[in-house]
Chain A
Amino acid sequence: MRTLRAALMAVAVALLTLVPAASYASEGHQPKTPIKHFVFLFQENHTFDNYFGTRPGVDGIPAGTCMPVVPGTAKPCVKPHWIGDDPIVDLGHTRVQYDREYNGGKMDGFVAANSDNGRDGAIAMGHYDDRDLPYYWNLADNYVLFDRFFSSAKAGSVANHMFAVTATPGVTGRSERIPPEGWGDLPTIFDRLQDAGVSWKFYIENYDPSINYKTRDRVELVDRAAQVIWAPVLAYQRFVEDPELNKHIVDLDQYYKDVQHGTLPAVSYIVPSGDSEHPPGRIQAGQRLVRALVNELMRSTSWDSSAFLWSYDDWGGWYDHVKPPSVDSWGYGFRVPALLVSPYARKGFVDHETSDFTSILKFIETNWDLPPMAERDRKANDLTEAFDFTASPRAPVILGTERDVAPRERPKTGPIYGAYAFALGGSCGLFLLARRRTNRLGPHPKALPTDAVISRRDRP
């Protein structure tokens, strides 16, 4: 009897424990907004001013900007200029570089910081516009462009990528290296999603499963070792070794199949390979990648419940005029471009709210009711101002790579209608006139006799 009572108690306790867990899991499956598929693409190394600084209606490059060659000395200086097809170089984008450009908040070190080792620092003041990025600009016309979206860390790729998945820099001190033993137990958004039973995938372009935190230093793999930086999950023992977790890390080809087959997970992270727009690579290649990903989503059944956001992991050394707010010792870094494409995104909206990569985490956590991972994502803006969930989803529009396409010129139709009305009316009038005249006057004296037949003999 005592044993039975103990057993019943145990069952009751177990049930009491399981009920909240079960309800949490089921709630976790249900998004709080119409967004059932959130896709985040992480490109590389550009600032907001570098891509959209000349765009009207945004917090772009101020008029009269001229960056001193020597910080603190007004002249000589370098004005922002259009890069176009000029070759570019990979500018420095480390913490040290950041500090030199930031120059204690004076924001006047962009040329000087890039003028060492024989380089011409003037390139940092270069910018692109819609001639180079017509598709991005077209998307901005139709969806949401963020003009106060900051990189999370005043550092390079490693810390910023870690912010995007853990809301922390991962690294400690001024180091920007992945620890040899990986990131240990540091929680990621994917742990949260996995625990809540929310589907997720990490898509990697040209994914090589053999490259992870344990192998990245091998000589034969070092050229492609950046995969571990861009996909921080590959620097986690559990994500690399646990098949249940590892199966979520797939090649980008799978994205197209998932979209096509309607199996796109709730949360997707995408990192590119050669078309990341990382200088000196061609930015148009990245634009092409974004276009392919967005178009595929637009053509799918998932479009009506999806949101696609992409941004740039760090500023890449380029000039940006907005002094980043200071939120902690790591951030924010300089502004980076960020755009949101969704059937619920406000049309042509410029989002002036201050956001960073942890805002993406905040949106995911809010939408799927997940607990935050750190202070940063707890406090972050959740991006909801960019959406209008009261409206019905907008139909997809595949945008081209041409700007300001003039509508086909319509001819003046008055002369056409007038001419043909005259022709028809005049002909009818002539017909009636001829009939009346013939009826009144009869045949002409020289006319053929009625039913006359001309024989050879009759010919003159």
Chain B
Amino acid sequence: MSEGTEGRGAEVAVADTDVTSSTAGRVAGTEPGTADPRTLTRRERSRRWVRRHHLALLLTVTLGVAAGVRLVNLGSLGFNSDEAVYAGQAGALVGNPNYVESFPVFRAHPMLVQTMLSIFFRSGEHDVVGRVVIGLLGVLTVYVVYLLGAELYSRHVGVLAAAILAVMPYHVVVTRQVLLDGPMVLFSTLTLLAVTKFAKSGRLTWMLVAGAMLGLTMLSKESSIVLTGAVYAFFALTPQVRRSVVGTVIGMTVAIGMFLLHPISVSLSGHSSTAKAYLIWQLVRRPNHPFTFYGVTVPSAVGPLVLVAALVALWLVYRNRTPAWREVLLVAWVLVPTAAFTLWPVKGFQYLLPCAPALAVLAAQGVVAAPWRLPGAVRQMIGGRDVSGRALSAAVGAAIIISLLVVTLPRLAPTPSATGLAGSGGIPGGRETGHWIRAHTPEGTVVMTLGPSMANLVQYYGHRDAFGLSVSPNPLHRNPSYEPIPNPDYALRHGDMQYVVWDLWSARRSAHFSEVLKGLARRFHGHAVHTEYVGSGADRRPAIIVYEVRA
């Protein structure tokens, strides 16, 4: 028997054991070698019940933890700029008077998420509610990852993959915010599940489902179109998987048709030119991060041990010389977006989030399938006793989850700090500044901010018009939603703007405009009327300063 065959046999055996044991227990109601249940004590019956349902229990606990880390302390920080925009769009869509004038309904992205959120944004100001909705969709994603792991490998892998994603800082942090990426990852994972089911069942209806789910993924955020490359790569690299021309055409048609709902609905609602303006802008945007951005930011957010475990899964395939279709699918789901977004000049912290479920499943498979054995020295230390491979797998899995929790838990009660990465959390003091502006400035006040991000927060929380000083007058170099200030000096001199807001994060992005803004504040008799701080003790420093100015 060759090595390859041995490896395949071992892999199948692991899966079969899992399926067989659970099925046998379900059918017979007893376990081999155990006594008649009527003769068991209550404690023994409880143990037996737990043994039989331990995966369901673990999954329930996992989902509970997933919900906990996504929903606890959601209101500690206010929205960041992107959250304010999406929530503002949702409010404007449903006719919330606070946002109808400040936020255009159509901006850069399709409207699936904003449309879902709009149900909760009919009136008033909401940040926690929006985050709860996204958080719950994140929990649903955790469950779908369980289904995916169970479909691809086994329920053990499914549960462990779900547990990994449940506490993975990358997914937790993003699904605690009103961003499009959380729901997008739910639909992309459903796409992955549908492709898996198609590969296993060969039923074309799953291709339709995959197309529909891919369509929903793109309706959440159009950049997910790169995942079509992952689907293509999978089918191209696994000729053994049934490929039907009809099925492929129908699946693609469904996906494209689904995505076309966006421009069609935009057109029917009378704003056909909006999408074109954004497309042009997206194509000519300047790079906002270096080429190495994802290499620096994502591994720590995913968890180094998760990456190692995923590599172990791949190493097992290499060692056994069995390049399996499942790994091809998962690796394609990770590599294609990573390569695409690395090459794409505009980068964002959360852009690689669709890779997270695939990585979680791979890592779980690495942990479950690896032939864990205690080193001899360790065995000697514990008195020569041996520990089963399954127990060691559980220990390694627990270690991974703990390593993720160590990073995740501090993020649940963030202390206002001076470091801030777009998409990684709320802006300290942004909500408070907006509220101060709303309470202390007359209606009709117009605010000059350093950048458009703070302008979004002032508009969302302050209900005042705000314009970013750093917004380029060149239409090719600015987001079409943002209006530039053609002549800031003129605007202040003529009293068209009455307040100037400086913030630390925008200042870090552009020291030049920070100096210009401070110069304008000085020139127009600016005096600070409100300040928000970050840090404590010696590190305490102003993060946001509101200046009242006059000509």
Contacts and interface: CB of A to CB of B under 8 A. Distances in A.
Interface string A399-430: 11100000111111111111110111011001
B390 interface: no
Given A288-B551, A398-B445, A454-B324, A427 B495 contact: no
B75 interface: no
A299 B4 contact: no
B533 to A, nearest CB: 24
B105 A295 contact: no
Interface in A9-36: none
Contacts of B287: none
A434 B208 contact: yes
A447 B106 contact: no
Interface residues of B, number: 73
A401 B323 CA distance: 70
Nearest to A450: B200
B242 A444 contact: yes
Given A397-B443, A410-B95, A420-B219, A295 B322 contact: no
A457 interface: yes
Given A426-B212, A455-B8, A434 B205 contact: yes
A414 B324 CA distance: 47
Contacts of B215: 423, 427
A437 interface: yes
Contact of A396 (B190, B270, B442): B442
B443 A396 contact: yes
Interface stretch (B260-268, B277-285, B302-310, B403-411): B260-268
B212 A395 contact: no
Given A423-B215, A444-B201, A460 B239 contact: yes
A292 B101 CA distance: 25
A451 B155 CA distance: 13
Interface in A274-317: 288, 291-292, 295-296, 298-299, 303
Contact of A443 (B100, B202, B266, B445): B202
A260 B547 CA distance: 13
Contact of B205 (A292, A412, A438): A438
Interface string B505-545: 00000000000000000000101000000000000000000
A400 B100 CA distance: 19
A448 B495 contact: no
B42 to A, nearest CB: 37
Contacts of A416: 93, 105, 111, 115, 265-266, 269
B264 A419 contact: yes
A411 B105 contact: yes
Contact of B240 (A298, A412, A415, A448): A448
Contacts of B112: 420, 423-424
B550 interface: yes
Contacts of A431: 190, 194, 209, 212-213
Contacts of B194: 431, 434
A408 B100 contact: yes
B439 to A, nearest CB: 11
B242 A446 contact: yes
B324 A430 contact: no
Contact of A299 (B106, B111, B266, B548): B548
A448 B198 CA distance: 10
Contacts of A411: 105-106, 266, 269-271
Contact of B203 (A417, A434, A451, A457): A434
B258 interface: yes
A430 B199 contact: no
With most chain A CB atoms within 10 A of its CB, the pick from B15, B213, B238, B265 is B265
Contacts of B104: 408
A424 B187 CA distance: 10
A298 B265 contact: no
Interface string A235-261: 000000000000000000000100010
Given A292-B550, A430-B205, A459 B93 contact: no
With most chain A CB atoms within 10 A of its CB, the pick from B197, B212, B266 is B212
Contacts of A181: none
Nearest to B8: A453
A456 interface: yes
B16 interface: yes
A457 B4 contact: yes
A365 B94 CA distance: 53
A414 B105 CA distance: 13
Nearest to A413: B93
A454 B496 CA distance: 69
A427 B548 CA distance: 52
B108 interface: no
A433 interface: yes
A408 B97 CA distance: 11
Contacts of A298: 442
A423 to B, nearest CB: 6
Contacts of B105: 410-411, 416
Contact of B238 (A256, A427, A446, A454): A454
Contacts of B241: 448
A267 B496 CA distance: 28
A89 B104 CA distance: 46
Contacts of A292: 495, 550-551
Given A410-B100, A427-B212, A438-B206, A443 B200 contact: yes
Nearest to B215: A423
A356 B16 CA distance: 101
A458 interface: yes
B21 interface: no
Interface of A: 256, 260, 288, 291-292, 295-296, 298-299, 303, 395-401, 407-420, 422-424, 426-427, 430-431, 433-434, 437-438, 441-448, 450-460
Given A292-B550, A419-B261, 12 more contacts: A260-B548, A298-B442, A299-B442, A395-B443, A398-B441, A419-B265, A420-B112, A420-B116, A434-B205, A438-B206, A455-B322, A457-B4
12 contacts: A295-B495, A298-B442, A400-B444, A416-B269, A419-B265, A420-B219, A423-B215, A427-B209, A427-B212, A443-B202, A453-B12, A456-B323
Report the 8 A-B pairs with minimum CB-CB distance, sorted nearest first. A444-B202, A447-B202, A398-B444, A415-B268, A411-B269, A396-B442, A419-B265, A434-B205
